[in-house]
Every structure is written in structure tokens, then in C-alpha cells.
Homo-oligomer: A and B are copies of this chain.
Amino acid sequence: MLKTYSISEVAKELNLTVYTLRYYDKEGLMPFVERKPSGTRLFKESDIEALKVIECLKSTGMPIKEIKVFIDWCSDGDFTLQQRYDMFVERKAVVEAQLEELNKTMELINHKCQYYKTALDAGTEDIHKNNKIGSF
């Protein structure tokens, strides 16, 4: 017999709330989770892995409705393999763009750290007044 987990155990493991997990279920992201006759959800190890993939997609900015489309493809069998592959290739491009964006952000933040360090040492922001760049 495979070990199963309760919704609160899964919530703790994935750093989500039970509310959020039930919300995901309501939105159709967890059709694979089985139930006791009483209705209580029984999460298998593989369900937790699936939820990690869902979290991964979410962290790329994919809306829940689109994630549901992917989950539906998973239930639909092999003839959706191409769509699923294409989806991940597209996600890869998205994440690459996000990484680039985030690196630019980091550059500006670093610049501002420098800017304020200099100003702080001088005791005034005026130290940057004659500088065409970075005054704000």
C-alpha cells in the first residue's frame, strides 16, 4: 500500500494553505487526487510531485486557467504529447525572458545601492547633483 497524505500535510510540505489547495481542486487542477468514501482527499506521493509542477508553472506567471488546460491534456493521453511538449518549450522561452528582465532589474538595484551608499557617506544626496545619471 502506498502512503497517503492529508490536505494539511500537503499544504505544509508545499508551503500553501489548505484553502489554496481546495481552491486549486475547485479550479480543476487536481483531478487525480482520490478520496475516501467520506470525501476526504488522499494525496499520493505522485500527486505532490504533480503539485510541484503546478507550482513551477505558476511561478512562471502562467494563470491557473492555462495550467488547467495542461492538466486536462495530461488526462487526455498520448495524443496531446505534442501540445504538452510545445507548452514547455514556450515556458522555457518565457522563463529565459524573465531571467533577462530580472538581471536588468538587479543591475539597476545595484546601481541604486551604490548611489545611496555614496550619498550616505557624503551625508547628502547633493553629491550626485552634477551627475547626469541616477539622480532621483
**Interface positions of A (Cβ within 8 A of B):** 46, 49-50, 52-53, 56, 59-60, 74, 77-78, 81-82, 84-85, 88-89, 91-92, 95-96, 98-99, 101-103, 105-106, 108-110, 112-113, 116-117, 119-120, 123-125, 135-136
Contact = CB atoms under 8 A, between A and B. Distances in A.
A71 to B, nearest CB: 10
Given A46-B135, A78-B123, A116 B56 contact: no
Contact of A109 (B88, B101, B110, B113): B88
A102 B105 contact: no
B109 A91 contact: yes
Contact of A136 (B53, B112, B116): B53
